[in-house]
Every structure is written in C-alpha cells, then in structure tokens.
Amino acid sequence: MGNPQQSLVQSFLSGKIGRRAFINRAVGLGVSLASVEAFVAACGGGSGSGGSSSSITWSNWANTGELVRFKAFTEDYNKKHNTNVNYNYVPSANNNYFTKITTELNGGNAPDVFYVGDGDIAKLVANQTVMQLNDLLSSSKSKESADDYLPGLWGAAKTKSGKIFGVPVDCNPLLLWFNKKVLTDAGIKDMPTDLYAQNKWTRDAFQEMIQKIHASGKQGFILDAWDMQYWAWCTSNGGKLYDNNNYGNFIVHEDPKSLDAMKWLAEQTKQKTIVYAGTLPKGQGSDLNFIGNQVGFISVGRWDLPEFKSAGGLQYDCVPFPSPSGTIAPAPVALAYMVINKKTKLKDQAFDFLTNFVSADGQTFRLHGGGNAVPSIKSTDTEKVVTEGGVPEHAKFLLDARNIGYGLPPAEGSAPGLPGDIQTALDPVWLQGKDVTTALAGIAAMANPRIKAAQDKLQ
C-alpha cells in the first residue's frame, strides 16, 4: 500500500476522519469500492480505543487485502478475550516500517506488540527493546510451545544460547514456480513435477529446460535480486553458507558445493539462460513476466499466488529446487516475527494477543480462504489452508519445503545491513560478469568481523 493510502487509513483508524470521507477518498485514490467497504466493515466504523480502561496497540505492514483480515482478527479477538482491555490494530506502510518502529521505540510510544522482519529482529534483541519470550512460551499462558514451530524458522529471533525474542507469524518457503505454456512452447514434454516424482529433478534437468526456453526466445529463469535467492541454489546443492550451525563465519567461498552452485549461477547469467532481475526494464518484475508468459521459471513463496489466481488463463505449478539426488533439499523461507515491546505496561495481555495470533487457530483464521503465506506451526489442521482448492496442483510442496527449510541464517541476520551488502557485493557478478570466487572472498572479509561483533553482543 502506498503512502497516500496508508496516511488515509491511519487518519480513519485514529478517528480524524469519518466513514463517509474515508470511503470517498480511498475510492479517489484508486482502491476498489468493494475493498474499501470490506475494510470499513472489519474496522467496525473507525473509532479509536473506545471506553475500555486500558488498551493495547499492535502493528505490522500489510497490503489492502491483508488489512481487512488483520482488522477482522483484532475485532474477533476483542469479542472473545480480555474484555477489560481494548486491542487496536495500527497498520503501517512497508517501505519505511522498521524506521518508523525504531523511532517510536526510541520515543517511548511504540506499539505493545508488532511485526519485525527477519533481517531486523537482531537489532532489537541487541538493543534490548523487545521481551525475551522463553518463560512465557513454556508457561500455561501460551497456546503453543516453542517446540510446536518448525525448528528451521527461528533465524535471528533465537540466539545461539537459545533465547527467543520473536515468534514466526507464518512463513513463505521459496519454490520454483513454472509457466506450463512457456515450457510446452519450448518443446518440453515432461514437466518439472513429473521429473520430481521420478527423483530425476536435478540441476542438469533444469538447465536443459532453461536452455530450450532461451532458444525459443523467452527467458529461462529470472534470478531475483536477493541473497536468499542465491543461497537457495547453494543449499539445494548440498552446500553450507555459514559455519558454527549458521551462527559463525561466512563460508560460501570455501564450501565446495556452495561455490559450485554460485559458479553455475554466474555461468548461466553469462549465457542468458538465467536473467538477473537487476537487468530488467524498470517496472518489469519477475511476477509480471511470469503472468505475461515471458519466462519459464521464477522463485517466489506463496505471496504471489493471489496474483497468479487472478490472472486469467495462466497455467502454472510449483516444484522444489533441483538437487543432486532429484529429491527435495533445504531452501530458504521468508519470515517475519511477532515481538513484544519491552516497555509494555500490560505484559500478560500483550502476550495473550501474541500467542493467539501465532497459534494454530490464529494462523488458520488469517490464512484460510486464499491467504498468501504458509503456517509456521506443525499442525495438520493449519496445513489445510495451503492445499485448499487444489491451487496450484502441487501446493503440498510448499509444506514440504517449509518442513526442511531455513530462515535467514542468524549469523547474517544478526549483523545490521549485511544481507543488503551481500547483494550489492554480488551485483557485479550478475551485471558485469565479474569473477564470482573473488566476489565471495570479498564478502567473507567484509562480513565475518561484523558477524563476530554482532554475535558477541547477543550471547
């Protein structure tokens, strides 16, 4: 959601403008009338905290569709829990979310409960502005225990010594999504899912496909500008990224299997069978190329599924990354965590909201009927929200990938700005054909002192 829309939403939620003015202005900004009315209904009108004796505020980033669901969850929670406390949802724009939260924390007026991205949570752990949650998660106050969440999803929300500061709200495992029409038009008869079922989904099989697609005049695979996209090819190839159980040094340049994967990526970009997203014309993302039948493969989580569903006639499916064995191998999972402001005056009430939000029931409430994420909790009931409707055909692979996947490695997530600096350091490889081994060695020299300094603060 853009800034004008976001400002309008916040004015409405705070009661600065009324229902009619909000609807008129939102429609004027290009939001559909149906979406606006659904949002207003979920808000219950647009009043502030009401007459409760105390209140709790929670915040996250969200698109228009998610806003409706988060408001509905909050309204439902207010009806069922803690009648002496009013819970208020205050959404925020994604483009400056963490800066805004940091400013509010410094000013003493931050939300009681809020989302933090996987690359930012370690900053709040280091400056001790969010609560440690181990005792609460293991108490009778918690709807789920820490062990109920997939072990690979904690990332930098859990320190090396096991201290937990945030709970994964849900998750988005990276898979390869393929455009059936583009593959078929390139003369490919066996779909990736067919090969995967036969344990034949290897990197060689994938390379053969993207070569055929490139020869047909289309893009084989778009490599998005995000270091987790590069790491997917390393770990699915059997490689390691960081030593010391992912809390230690960057070792991609030294690990034979990871280095092999990075050299392969670099070679494919030179041959144009893989297109780096940084070279695409402005406004042309991998999703639009996919919907426009211009690319065979892209790598995304479930977040693009609503867009794919609404694209008329699009033929698509998903499959895990190829591996040497032809079977599934670990790949990254995009995550956000829910945390509690250490300065909250209502600790138990804040935790009660958090535990209900991230519980099996809470995740089902938020994700059923067309959600754009995957539950982070081990529960057969919650998993149904991923496979409901049978779209895509192999949606179950999202659960399989989640089960063995991993969040942003804590070593990388703990050093402020490191993920972005890694991406910048690798840009010359994809854009100019620079030597990938040299670039990776440079990343190690840049990253490892920062990782050590960050980890020393978190012990």
How would you classify the pairing of strands 219-223 and 295-300?
parallel
The reported pLDDT for the residue numbered 51 is 37
Give yes or no for a contact between 344 and 350, defined as CB atoms under 8 angstroms apart. yes
Question: In 187-335, where does DSSP find H-type helix?
Answer: 192-197, 203-215, 227-235, 243-246, 256-271, 286-291, 305-310
Out of 9-23, 71-85, 412-426, pick the least confident: 9-23
Kindly state the tokens that stand for 206.
Answer: 């994938």
Average pLDDT in the 258-275 region?
Answer: 98
Span 5-14, average pLDDT: 63
391 vs 397: CA distance, rounded Å: 12
Average pLDDT of span 222-242: 98
Of 380, 390, 409, 438, nearest to 148 (Cα)?
A: 380
Task: Give the tens place of pLDDT for each residue, 358-396.
Answer: 999 999 999 998 789 999 999 888 999 999 999 999 999
What does the block give as tokens for 109? 């007026």
Residue 18: what pLDDT? 64
Residue 274 carries which side chain, given as an amino acid letter? Answer: I
**Nearest Cα to 373, choosing from 343, 335, 342?**
335
* Cα–Cα distance measured from residue 120 to residue 419, given in angstroms and rounded to the nearest whole number: 10
Give the pLDDT confidence score for residue 50 in this predicted structure.
36
Distance CA 439, CA 441 (A): 5
Over residues 435-442, the mean pLDDT reads 98
State the pTM of this model: 0.88
Buried b (16+ CB within 10 A) or exposed e, 391-404: ebebbebbbebbbb
Is the pLDDT at 446 greater than 70? The verdict is: yes
% of the chain with per-residue pLDDT over 70: 88
Total residues belonging to the chain: 459
What pLDDT does 2 receive? 46
Q: Looking at the domain 96-172+335-404, which fold is it? A: D-Maltodextrin-Binding Protein; domain 2 (3.40.190)
Q: What's the mean pLDDT in 85-113?
A: 93
Structure-token pair, residue 211: 């070569």
93 pLDDT band (50/70/90 cuts)?
Answer: confident
How large is the C-alpha radius of gyration of the chain? Answer: 22
Cross-strand partners of 442: none
Separation of alpha carbons 175 and 196, rounded Å: 13
Range in 17-21, 134-138, 259-263 the model is least confident about = 17-21
Omega of the bond prior to 4 within 30 degrees of 0, cis? no
Strand partners, 53: none
- Residues 21-77 have pLDDT tens digits of 667 677 666 665 556 655 655 554 333 333 345 899 999 998 877 888 999 999 999
The arithmetic mean of pLDDT across residues 213-228, rounded, is 98
CA angle 252, 254, 257 (to 5 degrees): 70
Question: What would the CATH number be for the domain defined by 175-331+415-458?
Answer: 3.40.190.10
Tell me, yes or no, if the two domains 96-172+335-404 and 175-331+415-458 fold the same way: yes
Q: Contact at 8 Å (CB) between 308 and 286?
A: no
Mean residue pLDDT of the chain comes to 91
- Cβ neighbors of 456 (< 8 A, separation 6 or more) are none
Contacts of 66 (CB under 8 A, 6+ apart): 372
Whether the predicted pLDDT of 153 surpasses 60: yes
Say what the pLDDT of residue 270 is: 97
Domain ranges of the chain: 96-172+335-404, 175-331+415-458
